[in-house]
């Protein structure tokens, strides 16, 4: 049981390039999330998904896109990378959502992205 | 609305106690607590649900004051392994079940 896995671990992009951050979970969780973490700012939600084929914007969605074709995978796409997208990106998943004892979020190890 | 955590940072000696607070201007449904060690992913500690309950996990416990919309995390007899950044995540009416995380509290435990 690997939990939540993310690839790559590190990436350097040039301004204007595009890339996809991969996220896979093997816990059969319906709910998946993408966060970015900037120093001293906590975790900001980019996009989330409540199941295959259903995604919605979070707090900071501009410059990103997501898709969810399977329960297991939730890739995050960066188009036209900008220096402001330099951050650590975490993918997470949970069994349920809302005020429940079962909506603990499991986080992947993160992807450290630098845009130069 | 991002919850406010206090203090921003705290330094302890092994065996000392600490309290970390998380306050919101919103009527909360739940509060999550996570710990993140440097260079690692956040790890879940506990969930506090609306109702003012208190939870505990060994020497780490938390409370949820519904009247004040505030949660407090209590770390007693701190150990070196408690070092890290502690985040609260809050869910409120209108947040559509999503969590909003505070900026974190950096806890350093020294020998």
Map out the domains of chain B as residue ranges: 4-110
Domain total in chain A: 1
For the domain B4-110, what is the CATH code?
Answer: 2.60.40.10
Say yes or no to pLDDT of A18 above 80. yes
Question: What long-range pairs does A72-75 form, CB within 8 A, spacing at least 24?
Answer: A72/A24, A72/A25, A72/A26, A73/A22, A73/A23, A73/A24, A74/A23, A74/A24, A74/A25, A74/A32, A74/A34, A74/A49, A75/A20, A75/A21, A75/A22, A75/A23
Exposed (0-12), middle (13-18) or buried (19+): which is A82, by Cβ within 10 Å? middle
- Residue A116 within a domain: no
Q: Which residues contact B70 (CB under 8 A, 6 or more apart)?
A: B21, B22, B23, B24, B64
Range among A84-93, A97-106, B97-106 with highest mean pLDDT value: A84-93
pLDDT at residue A76 tops 80 = yes
pLDDT of B58 reads: 72
Q: Is residue A41 part of a domain?
A: yes
Nearest CA in chain A to B3: A42
A100 contacts on B by Cβ (under 8 Å): 30, 47, 49
Q: B50-88 pLDDT, tens per residue?
A: 775 666 667 899 999 888 899 999 999 999 999 999 999
- The answer to whether position A115 is within a domain reads no
Give the domain extent around A95. Answer: 4-99
CA distance A62 to A60: 6
Nearest to B41 among A45, A103, A107 (CB): A107
CATH number at residue A45: 2.60.40.10
Would you say residue A100 has pLDDT above 80? no
Nearest CA in chain A to B45: A104
CB-based contact B32 A90, cutoff 8 Å: no
The per-residue pLDDT of chain A, averaged, comes to 93
Instruction: Give the whole-angstrom CA distance, residue A111 versus residue B21.
Output: 29
Kindly state whether residue A70 falls inside one of the protein's structural domains.
yes
Percent of chain B predicted with pLDDT > 90: 68
pLDDT at A102: 65
pLDDT at B95: 78
Residue A107 placed within a domain: no
């Amino acid at each position: 049981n690997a939990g939540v896995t993310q690839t790559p671990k590190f990436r350097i992009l040039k301004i204007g390039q595009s890339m996809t951050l991969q996220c896979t979970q093997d816990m059969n969780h319906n709910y998946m999330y993408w966060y970015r973490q900037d120093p001293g700012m906590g975790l900001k939600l980019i996009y989330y998904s409540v199941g295959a084929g259903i995604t919605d914007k979070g707090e900071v969605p501009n410059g990103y896109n997501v898709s969810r074709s399977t329960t297991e995978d939730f890739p995050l796409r960066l188009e036209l990378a900008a220096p402001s997208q330099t951050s650590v990106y975490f993918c997470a998943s949970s069994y349920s959502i809302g005020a429940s004892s079962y909506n603990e979020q499991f986080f992947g190890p993160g992807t450290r992205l630098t845009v130069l | 609305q991002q919850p406010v955590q206090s203090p921003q940072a705290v330094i302890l000696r092994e065996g000392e106690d600490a309290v970390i607070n998380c306050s919101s201007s919103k009527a909360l449904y739940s509060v999550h607590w996570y710990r993140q060690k440097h260079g690692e992913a956040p790890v879940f500690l506990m969930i506090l649900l609306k109702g003012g309950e208190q939870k505990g996990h060994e020497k780490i416990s938390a409370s949820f004051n519904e009247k004040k919309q505030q949660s407090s995390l209590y770390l007693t007899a701190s150990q070196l392994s408690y070092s890290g950044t502690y985040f609260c995540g809050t869910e409120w009416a209108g947040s559509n079940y999503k969590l909003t995380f505070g900026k974190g509290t950096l806890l350093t435990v020294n020998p």
